[in-house]
């Protein structure tokens, strides 16, 4: 095994295409660039591979977008099975050939797009009928439908349920389960489940489960000379260097109000008892009962928003439920809408009051929370869904009273929401672009109790005369 010489070094052990004609093509020496994409919002891995072809593979093999791709890549010094990108047994599926051009000397250049085989299998599989069990059991059934032979991380869910699948794809059934699933092993019954794939396998688990993981990597901004130790480059420090960063979002007040992040109202109609129940979700009031990222690592958690008073009557921004949900259930002692063939009712009724509003708030915070992108040296041991620690220095020419060294918001633990692995064969370097997000802070944002909008103490002036509105008449 080659030793790592510099951050970003990698080894390509296998790169083969199996054509629809059964021909095996070794393309190790033909690869120009490989990109892999992991994303908490995507059900499967995707990627692109740029190939230079002097043997006419694309025409003679041929390569038509129905091929299998075997790949094995790893960071040079990492030998743990989980740190190796190994798709030699569970192969990728090439689904398209793009941007084919001639670059001279009888060499062509083209881009092959590929994805996990489970996604392709999902597209050609339909599920019809009644499915029963816990939501985690049903997800396991769906993974069998797409013939998944990889590791599957499934967090057990509460209650025996029934789903009626009306001729839909397996991953659409999983999506139905996502929206109502709540954890059976988390002390707060976390309802914020995600379904995604990384190099380690498939995941059906709650955000709380991801937050509870240990820190995989610590990142700091690049300091010239800081990676040199005893005259030699410290590879470990180099792997933890932030080469560039971009702050993407620092929360959006209008988005948070309209999407139910801060507050929402839920009307539940019980068609069995002919009754309505109303539930209100208040971000600040509910925050302490939820499990956020800093609670697992800093042992405390505080909102990323300030709970200051915004109206003279004392109301906060979370006291205005701008979004209303309406749903129905059929609940007696059990789910009366679902029975077995012998007339029993073993199924737990849906409980949207315990899942829908908190899930909507939490998932939307991943879209418009504290988000930034960082560029780093590549590391195959890091995946979407991992926890990293980050320190971004405070940008200020004047010292603050607290004498902070790091940015108040962009420091501490973050969740890796998305990661793009880029393997450049021209310079033989592996780099990564990570999208990081967090939904809580280790310290409270203080503010006065009367921070309401300044307004003049007078009535508005109404202008409605014809001369002003129709000056040309």
CATH number at residue 153: 3.55.50.20
Q: Is residue 329 one of the residues assigned to a domain?
A: yes
* 277 shares a domain with 203: no
For the chain, give the mean pLDDT.
Answer: 87
Q: Is residue 443 one of the residues assigned to a domain?
A: no
* 186 shares a domain with 283: no
Q: Which of 348, 364, 380 finishes a domain?
A: 364
pLDDT score of 42: 95
Q: Which of 210-214, 309-313, 355-359 has the lowest mean pLDDT?
A: 309-313
Q: Which of 311, 334, 364 finishes a domain?
A: 364
* 259 shares a domain with 357: yes
Q: Is residue 36 one of the residues assigned to a domain?
A: no
pLDDT score of 89: 93
Q: Is residue 339 one of the residues assigned to a domain?
A: yes
Q: Which of 190-199, 221-230, 310-319, 431-440 has the lowest mean pLDDT?
A: 221-230
Q: Is residue 69 one of the residues assigned to a domain?
A: no
pLDDT score of 258: 87
At 239, the pLDDT band (50, 70, 90 cuts) reads confident
* 200 shares a domain with 278: no
Instruction: State the SS3 of the chain.
Output: CCCCCCCCCEEEEEEEEECCCCCEEECHHHEEEEEEEEECCCCCCEEEEEEEECCCHHHHCCCCCCEEEEEEEEECCCCCHHHEEEEEEEEEEEEEEEEEEEEECCEEEEEEEEEEHHHHHHHCCCEEEEEEECHHHHHHHHHHHCCCCCCEEECCECCCEEEEEEEECHHHHHHHHHCCCCECCCCCCCCCEEEEEECCEEEEEEHHHHHCCCEEEEEEECCCCCCEECCEECHHHHHCEEEEEEEEEECCHHHHHHCCCCEEEEEEEECCCCEEEEEEEEHHHHHHHCCCHHHHHCCCCECCCCCCECCCCCCEHHHCCCEEEEEEECECCCECCCCCCCCCCCCCCCCHHHCHHHHHHHHHHHHHCEEEEEEEECCCCCCCCCEEEEEEECCCCCCCCCCCCEEEEEEEEEEEEEEEEEEECCCCEEEEEEEEEECCECCCCCCCCCCCCCCCCCCCCCCCCHHHHCCCC
At 229, the pLDDT band (50, 70, 90 cuts) reads low
Q: Is the pLDDT higher at 278 or at 74?
A: 278
Q: Is residue 455 one of the residues assigned to a domain?
A: no
Mean pLDDT of 375-404: 81
> How many domains does the chain fold into?
2
Q: What percent of the chain has pLDDT over 90?
A: 51
pLDDT at 129 over 80: yes
Q: Which of 212, 234, 268 finishes a domain?
A: 212
pLDDT at 2 over 50: no
Q: Is residue 465 one of the residues assigned to a domain?
A: no
pLDDT tens per residue, range 297-351 = 988 899 998 888 888 778 888 999 989 999 988 777 666 666 666 666 677 878 8
* 261 shares a domain with 202: no
Mean pLDDT of 381-386: 93
- Structural domain containing residue 193: 125-212
């Amino acid at each position: 095994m080659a030793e790592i010489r510099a951050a970003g070094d990698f080894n390509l052990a296998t790169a083969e295409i199996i054509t629809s004609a059964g021909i095996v093509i070794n393309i190790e020496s033909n690869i120009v660039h490989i990109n892999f994409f992991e994303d908490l919002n995507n059900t499967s891995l995707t990627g692109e591979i740029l190939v230079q072809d002097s043997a006419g593979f694309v025409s003679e093999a041929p390569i038509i977008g129905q091929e299998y791709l075997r790949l094995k890549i790893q960071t040079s010094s990492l030998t743990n099975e989980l740190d190796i990108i190994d798709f030699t047994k569970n192969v990728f599926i090439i689904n398209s050939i793009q941007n084919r051009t001639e670059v001279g000397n009888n060499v062509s250049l083209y881009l092959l797009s590929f994805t996990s085989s489970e996604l392709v299998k999902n597209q050609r599989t339909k599920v019809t009928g009644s499915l029963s069990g816990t939501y985690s059991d049903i997800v396991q059934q769906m993974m069998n439908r797409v013939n998944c032979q990889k590791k599957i991380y499934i967090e057990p869910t509460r209650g025996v349920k029934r789903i009626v699948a009306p001729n839909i794809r397996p991953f659409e059934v999983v999506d139905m389960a996502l929206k109502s699933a709540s954890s059976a092993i988390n002390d707060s019954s976390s309802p914020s489940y995600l379904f995604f794939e990384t190099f380690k396998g498939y995941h059906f688990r709650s955000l709380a489960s991801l937050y509870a993981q240990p820190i995989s990597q610590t990142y700091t901004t690049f300091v010239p000379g800081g990676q040199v130790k005893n005259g030699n480059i410290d590879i470990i420090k180099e792997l933890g260097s932030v080469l560039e960063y971009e702050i993407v979002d620092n929360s959006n007040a209008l988005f948070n109000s309209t999407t139910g992040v801060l507050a929402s109202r839920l009307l539940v109609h019980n068609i069995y008892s002919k009754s309505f129940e109303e539930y209100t979700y208040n971000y600040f009031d509910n925050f302490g009962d939820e499990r956020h990222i800093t609670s697992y690592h800093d042992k405390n958690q505080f909102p990323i928003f300030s709970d200051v008073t915004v109206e003279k009557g004392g109301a906060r921004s979370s006291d205005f439920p701008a979004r209303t949900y309406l749903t129905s259930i059929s609940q007696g002692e059990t789910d009366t809408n679902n029975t077995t063939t012998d007339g029993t009712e073993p199924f737990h009724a849906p409980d949207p009051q315990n899942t829908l509003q908190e899930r909507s708030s939490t998932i939307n915070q991943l879209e418009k929370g504290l988000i930034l992108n960082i560029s780093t040296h590549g590391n195959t041991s890091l995946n979407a869904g991992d926890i990293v620690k980050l320190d971004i220095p405070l940008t200020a020419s004047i010292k603050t009273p607290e004498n902070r060294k790091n940015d108040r918001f962009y420091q501490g633990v973050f969740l890796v929401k998305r990661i793009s692995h880029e393997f450049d064969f021209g310079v033989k370097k592996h780099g990564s672009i990570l999208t990081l997000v967090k939904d809580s802070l280790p310290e409270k944002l203080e503010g006065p109790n009367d921070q309401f909008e300044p307004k003049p103490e007078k009535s508005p002036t109404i202008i409605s005369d014809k001369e002003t509105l129709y000056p040309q008449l």
